[in-house]
Amino acid sequence: MTISIGDRIPPATMKIINEQGFGDISTDDLFKGKKVAIFGIPGAFTPTCSAKHLPSYVNNAGALAAKGVDSIVCMAVNDAFVMDAWGKSQNVGDAVMMVGDGNGELTRALGLEMDAAGFGMGERCQRFSMVVDDGVVTALNVEAPGEYSISSAESMLDQL
Domains, the chain, with CATH or none = 13-159 (3.40.30.10)
Question: Does residue 49 carry a catalytic annotation?
Answer: yes
CB 124 within 8 A of CB 102: no
What's 117's DSSP letter?
G
| Set 9, 44, 49, 110: catalytic member | 49
Task: Tell me how far apart the terminal alpha carbons of the chain are, to the nearest angstrom.
Answer: 25
Residue range 82-88: average pLDDT? 95
pLDDT value of residue 113: 86
In whole numbers, what is the pLDDT of the chain averaged over residues?
Answer: 92
Q: Model-level pTM?
A: 0.93
What percent of the chain has pLDDT above 70? 96
Q: What is the pLDDT of residue 108?
A: 94
Nearest to 129 by CA among 99, 103, 154, 101: 154
**Radius of gyration (C-alpha) of the chain in whole angstroms:** 14
